[in-house]
């Protein structure tokens, strides 16, 4: 069902008061002593006490956009904000959403990655309709992102939902639900995720990947989980899903990968023949973007190749055996 055009909610209380306080033009003296008008200071960011939107009708507080930015052209300015505040409103589950209004449940000021905020939000694709969500159940959290600039503010509604299907909006421009996941990840990390390798397909989805250290180790630092999927187009049944590497196998797989002699990656693994097995291994961390490995057997190298996009190595029989076992577990 297509949604009505997202509306801008009028939020009363401290936010509105701050906005009204900023509407009185200050005066100053020019060089000849005559008074001149100066722009009012932008309203201070403050989380609204409640969120009145619904899953098919995102709303945002009123705001004065910064100079040169038209909210109908993009979700946020390409300019780096000087502050980014996230306001969270727990809304039950996507199967049984709590009715509005939803009270403020938490708030967080992001302290890192503000330049990436500008890159990701200003480049978010336009999407104008809500067609319902898929069947994956999970918690539902509405998020308001307040962005402060020298000459104004912008508010963005971005809902965290398991299917990433609830539209994001600044009141004029709407985008798909991926922005909700980005905001939720930033809240978990305390700062916006800054991927070193951009976005790429990972096990049927698109993710921002890469972190410091990928140019020195296939799997840098200490991941908290490893996930594996097969990407063979002709593999039916159980092995075509995404699987967590068993806890007992995780240190073995990490040790086997780190034991491989590496070299600079030569590019995409294009030397795959019909006999090759292909996997993606996603190393997830407590904070920050994951590292993704492409692994193939067959015609690439003596027994296959593994690559994280910056480094590659000839894959070993032990790595292949562990991946096969992971993707055929009951």
Confidence of residue 266 (pLDDT cuts 50, 70, 90): confident
- Count CB neighbours of 230 within 10 A: 23
The pLDDT of residue 30 is above 60? no
Confidence of residue 27 (pLDDT cuts 50, 70, 90): very low
Q: What is the mean pLDDT of residues 21-43?
A: 40
Please give the pLDDT value at position 210. 86
Query: From residue 110, how far is each of 11, 61, 96, 115, 136 by CA, in Å?
Result: 22, 19, 30, 12, 29
Please give the pLDDT value at position 36. 46
Three-class SS of residue 89? strand
Please give the pLDDT value at position 106. 96
Q: How far apart are CA 221 and CA 213, in angstroms?
A: 8
Confidence of residue 28 (pLDDT cuts 50, 70, 90): very low
* pLDDT digit string, tens, across residues 171-205: 999 998 889 988 998 898 888 877 778 788 888 88
Q: List all residues 6 or more positions away from 133 whose beta carbon is below 8 Å from its beta carbon.
A: 55, 94, 161, 163, 165, 166
* pLDDT digit string, tens, across residues 219-251: 988 898 999 998 865 544 444 678 899 888 999
The pLDDT of residue 23 is above 80? no
The pLDDT of residue 264 is above 60? yes
The pLDDT of residue 14 is above 50? no
Task: List the one residue out of 48, 41, 65, 44 whose CA is nearest residue 9.
Answer: 48
Adjacent-strand bridge partners of 38: 26
Q: What is the mean pLDDT of residues 38-54?
A: 77
Three-class SS of residue 173? coil
Q: What is the mean pLDDT of residues 269-298?
A: 80
Three-class SS of residue 16? helix
Task: List the one residue out of 90, 106, 87 whose CA is nearest residue 46.
Answer: 87
Measure CA of the first residue to CA of the last residue in the chain; give whole Å. 38
Task: Give the mean pLDDT of the chain.
Answer: 80
The pLDDT of residue 18 is above 50? no
Q: List all residues 6 or more positions away from 288 whose beta carbon is below 8 Å from its beta carbon.
A: 189, 193, 194, 211
Query: From residue 307, how far is each of 25, 79, 313 by CA, in Å?
Result: 58, 35, 7
Q: How far apart are CA 177 and CA 270, in angstroms?
A: 32
What string of DSSP letters covers 211-275? Answer: -TTTTT-SS-S--SEEEEEE--TT--GGGGSEEEPPTTTHHHHHHHHHTS--EE--SS-----TT
Q: List all residues 6 or more positions away from 40 whose beta carbon is below 8 Å from its beta carbon.
A: 22, 23, 24, 25, 26
Please say whether the beta carbons of 298 and 273 come within 8 A. yes
Q: What letter does residue 85 receive in the DSSP assignment?
A: E
* pLDDT digit string, tens, across residues 80-120: 999 999 999 999 998 889 999 999 999 999 988 898 899 88
Task: List the one residue out of 269, 252, 242, 264 whose CA is nearest residue 317.
Answer: 252
pLDDT above 90 coverage of the chain, percent? 43
Q: Range with the lowest mean pLDDT among 29-33, 143-147, 150-154? A: 29-33
Q: List all residues 6 or more positions away from 8 whose beta carbon is below 8 Å from its beta carbon.
A: 59, 60, 61, 62, 171
* pLDDT digit string, tens, across residues 304-323: 889 999 999 999 999 999 99
Q: List all residues 6 or more positions away from 34 whose beta carbon is below 8 Å from its beta carbon.
A: none
Query: From residue 255, how far is each of 47, 172, 259, 287 by CA, in Å?
Result: 46, 51, 6, 22
Please give the pLDDT value at position 330. 60
Q: How far apart are CA 168 and CA 74, in angstroms?
A: 11
Three-class SS of residue 31? coil
């Amino acid at each position: 069902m297509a949604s009505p055009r997202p509306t801008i909610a009028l939020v009363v209380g401290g936010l509105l008061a701050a906005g009204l306080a900023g509407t009185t033009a200050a005066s100053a003296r020019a060089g000849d002593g005559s008074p001149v008008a100066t722009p009012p200071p932008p309203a201070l960011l403050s989380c609204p006490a409640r969120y009145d939107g619904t899953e098919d009708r995102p709303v945002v507080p009123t705001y004065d956009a910064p100079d040169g930015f038209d909210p109908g052209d993009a979700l946020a300015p390409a300019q780096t904000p000087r502050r980014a505040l996230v306001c969270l409103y727990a809304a039950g589950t996507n199967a049984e959403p709590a009715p509005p209004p939803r009270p403020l449940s938490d708030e967080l000021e992001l302290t890192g990655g503000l330049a990436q905020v500008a890159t990701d939000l200003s480049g978010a694709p336009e999407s104008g309709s809500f067609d319902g969500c898929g069947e994956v159940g999970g918690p539902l959290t509405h998020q308001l992102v307040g962005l402060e600039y020298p000459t104004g503010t912008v508010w963005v509604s971005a809902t965290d939902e398991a299917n990433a299907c609830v539209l994001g909006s600044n009141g004029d421009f709407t985008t798909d639900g991926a922005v909700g996941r980005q905001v939720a990840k930033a809240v978990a990390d305390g700062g916006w995720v800054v991927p070193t390798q951009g976005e790429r397909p990972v096990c049927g989805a698109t993710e921002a990947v890469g972190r410091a250290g990928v140019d020195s180790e296939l799997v840098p630092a200490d991941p908290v989980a490893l996930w594996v999927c097969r990407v063979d187009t002709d593999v039916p049944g159980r092995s075509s899903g995404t699987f967590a590497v068993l806890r007992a196998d995780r240190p073995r797989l990490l040790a086997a990968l780190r034991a491989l002699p590496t070299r600079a990656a030569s590019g995409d693994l294009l030397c795959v023949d019909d006999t090759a097995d292909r996997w993606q291994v996603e190393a997830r961390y407590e904070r920050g973007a994951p590292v993704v490995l492409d692994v193939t057997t067959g015609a690439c190298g003596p027994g296959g190749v593994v690559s994280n996009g910056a480094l590659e190595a000839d894959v070993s029989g032990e790595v292949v055996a562990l991946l096969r076992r992971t993707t055929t577990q009951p």
